[in-house]
């Protein structure tokens, strides 16, 4: 055997041995890597505050699921999961992606649903008043959106299926389906719709539908068309719930440790600005929750983030003189819009 051939065979043998080691025995072998990331992720959410959460790791992707009781706890769980094995990316064997399949548990309300329509799909989350109500709604909603809907709808125990609730929910979803993008919220006595319509005729038809809801359900809607607005915001309470719908259009997030807004966050703020422009309050504040309560640097970062939100709202047409900024460690949401004399309406 020639020296060259011997060298080649030795090289191949070394390569094969190294491949076997990396694949089976090394810390970054697929099986060991996945097990290590799963263990780290479970440890990260072992805090008693996160008993609602569960995590599953496939490869280097972690999926978080569960129904969180408030946004502060949700944000803390996401931060803990990111910190568990986030650094290093695929090369060093860290988590490279987190899929968020969580939903909000809105206290003990009898029912509350929220639907968000984007150009790609529609999500439907929340709680139906009973199993039969959930089934009845989905039986009508799934065909309406022709396979684009992603339902993550829970139900209260029991078989309650009030026809008025299903009819109201479907009126909202039918209106939402006519929009280019938007969000709808239905709680015990309020039906909310915000969005952008392709034409004024579409907006007017939606208005007619929402004006004939069952007795006891208050319709609140704001529909934007080219150069026109259908609907109005009379009270601060209406403004507050429309702001919730607008915020749902793009989850407001910041890059870790910075005041840079995510692209989805800027999309959401454009809709928030549209609602603010229609609100009766003269003054408002952007309130951001610090990551760590009582920490000077965290509070400084919160103010910077509030200023970044303020700057984006001004870019989208809100008058500069209307907006102040504050940091509030006690609020549930990461970012909140506080209206002048909030609660008086």
Residue 52 confidence class, pLDDT cut points 50, 70, 90:
confident
Cβ-contact 286, 259 below 8 angstroms: no
Residues 32 and 140 in one domain: no
Residues 82 and 99 in one domain: yes
Residues 100 and 128 in one domain: no
* Three-state SS annotation for 90-105: HHHCCCCEEEEEEEEC
Residue 178 confidence class, pLDDT cut points 50, 70, 90:
very high
Q: Which of these three, 209, 231, 253, is where a domain ends?
A: 231
Residue 16 confidence class, pLDDT cut points 50, 70, 90:
low
- Residue 145 falls within a domain, yes or no? yes
Q: Name the more confident of 48 and 320.
A: 320
Looking at residue 156, its pLDDT comes to: 77
- Residue 252 falls within a domain, yes or no? no
Residues 78 and 132 in one domain: no
Q: Which of these three, 177, 205, 231, is where a domain ends?
A: 231
Residue 306 confidence class, pLDDT cut points 50, 70, 90:
very high
Residues 15 and 96 in one domain: yes
pLDDT at 49 over 90: no
Burial class (CB in 10 A: 0-12, 13-18, 19+), 118: middle
Q: Name the more confident of 295 and 223.
A: 223
- Residue 96 falls within a domain, yes or no? yes
pLDDT at 277 over 60: yes
Strand partners, 251: none
Residues 121 and 217 in one domain: yes
Residues 135 and 204 in one domain: yes
- Residue 255 falls within a domain, yes or no? no
Q: What is the average per-residue pLDDT within 196-206? A: 91
DSSP-derived 3-state class of residue 5: helix
* Torsion angle defined by CA atoms of residues 253, 254, 259 and 263, in that order, rounded to the nearest 10 degrees: -80
Looking at residue 345, its pLDDT comes to: 36
pLDDT at 51 over 90: no
CA distance 270 to 313: 7
- Residue 239 falls within a domain, yes or no? no
Looking at residue 90, its pLDDT comes to: 39
Looking at residue 140, its pLDDT comes to: 94
Q: What is the average per-residue pLDDT within 128-147? A: 89
Residues 218 and 144 in one domain: yes
pLDDT at 325 over 60: yes
Q: Shortest CA distance to 257 belongs to which of 301, 293, 287?
A: 301
Q: What is the average per-residue pLDDT within 277-306? A: 86
CA distance 267 to 250: 6
pLDDT at 308 over 90: yes
Residues 18 and 42 in one domain: yes
Q: Which residues 6+ apart lie within 8 Å of 236 measured at CB?
A: 279, 280, 281, 339, 341, 342, 343, 344, 345
- Residue 250 falls within a domain, yes or no? no
Residue 39 confidence class, pLDDT cut points 50, 70, 90:
confident
Q: What is the average per-residue pLDDT within 269-283? A: 90
| Total domains present in the chain | 3
Q: Which of 93-107, 241-255, 329-343 is least confident?
A: 93-107
Looking at residue 22, its pLDDT comes to: 43
Q: Name the more confident of 87 and 314.
A: 314
Q: In whole numbers, what is the pLDDT of the chain averaged over residues?
A: 81
- Residue 332 falls within a domain, yes or no? yes
Q: Report percent pLDDT > 70 for the chain.
A: 81
Domain that holds residue 296: 275-339
Residue 296 confidence class, pLDDT cut points 50, 70, 90:
confident
pLDDT at 162 over 50: yes
User: Residue 57, Cβ neighbours under 10 Å: how many?
Assistant: 22
Q: Which two tokens stand for residue 339?
A: 């209206």
CA distance 332 to 344: 21
Residues 73 and 120 in one domain: no
Matching residue, tokens 């949401």: 333
Residues 127 and 227 in one domain: yes
Residues 147 and 224 in one domain: yes
- Residue 256 falls within a domain, yes or no? no
Residue 174 belongs to a domain with what CATH number? 3.40.1520.20
pLDDT at 21 over 50: no
Looking at residue 28, its pLDDT comes to: 45
Q: Shortest CA distance to 68 belongs to which of 337, 345, 336, 333?
A: 333
Q: Shortest CA distance to 83 belongs to which of 55, 117, 129, 41?
A: 41
Helix, strand, coil in percent for the chain, rounding step 5: 45, 25, 30
Q: Which of 135-139, 189-193, 338-342 is least confident?
A: 338-342
């Amino acid at each position: 055997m020639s020296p060259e051939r011997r060298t080649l065979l030795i090289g191949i043998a070394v390569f094969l041995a190294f491949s076997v080691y990396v694949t089976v025995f090394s810390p970054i072998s697929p099986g060991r890597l996945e097990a290590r990331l799963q263990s780290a992720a479970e440890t990260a959410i072992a805090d008693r505050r996160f008993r609602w959460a569960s995590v599953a790791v496939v490869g280097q992707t972690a999926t978080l699921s569960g129904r969180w009781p408030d946004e502060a706890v949700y944000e803390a769980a996401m931060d803990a999961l990111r910190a568990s094995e986030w650094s290093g990316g695929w090369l060093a064997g860290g988590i490279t992606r987190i899929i968020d399949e969580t939903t909000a548990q809105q206290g003990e309300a009898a029912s509350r649903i929220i639907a968000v329509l984007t150009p790609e799909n529609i999500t439907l989350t929340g709680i139906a008043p009973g199993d039969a109500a959930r089934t009845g709604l989905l039986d009508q909603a799934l065909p309406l959106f022709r396979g684009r809907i992603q339902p993550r709808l829970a139900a209260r125990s029991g078989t309650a299926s009030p026809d008025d609730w299903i009819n109201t929910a479907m009126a909202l979803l039918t209106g939402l389906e006519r929009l280019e993008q938007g969000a709808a919220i239905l709680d015990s006595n309020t039906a909310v719709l915000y969005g952008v319509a392709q034409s004024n005729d579409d907006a007017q038809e939606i208005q007619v539908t929402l004006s004939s809801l069952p007795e006891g359900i208050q319709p609140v809607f704001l529909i934007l068309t080219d150069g026109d607005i259908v609907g109005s915001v009379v009270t601060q309470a209406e403004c507050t719930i429309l702001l919730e719908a607008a915020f749902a259009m793009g989850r407001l997030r910041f890059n870790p440790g910075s005041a840079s807004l995510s692209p989805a966050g800027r999309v959401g703020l454009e809709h928030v600005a549209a609602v603010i422009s229609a609100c009766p309050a003269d003054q408002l504040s952007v309130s951001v929750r610090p990551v760590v309560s009582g920490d000077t640097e965290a509070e400084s970062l919160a103010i910077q983030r509030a200023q970044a939100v303020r700057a984006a709202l001004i870019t989208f047409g809100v008058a500069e003189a209307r907006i102040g900024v504050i940091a509030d460690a006690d609020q549930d949401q990461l970012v909140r819009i506080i209206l002048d004399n909030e609660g008086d309406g």
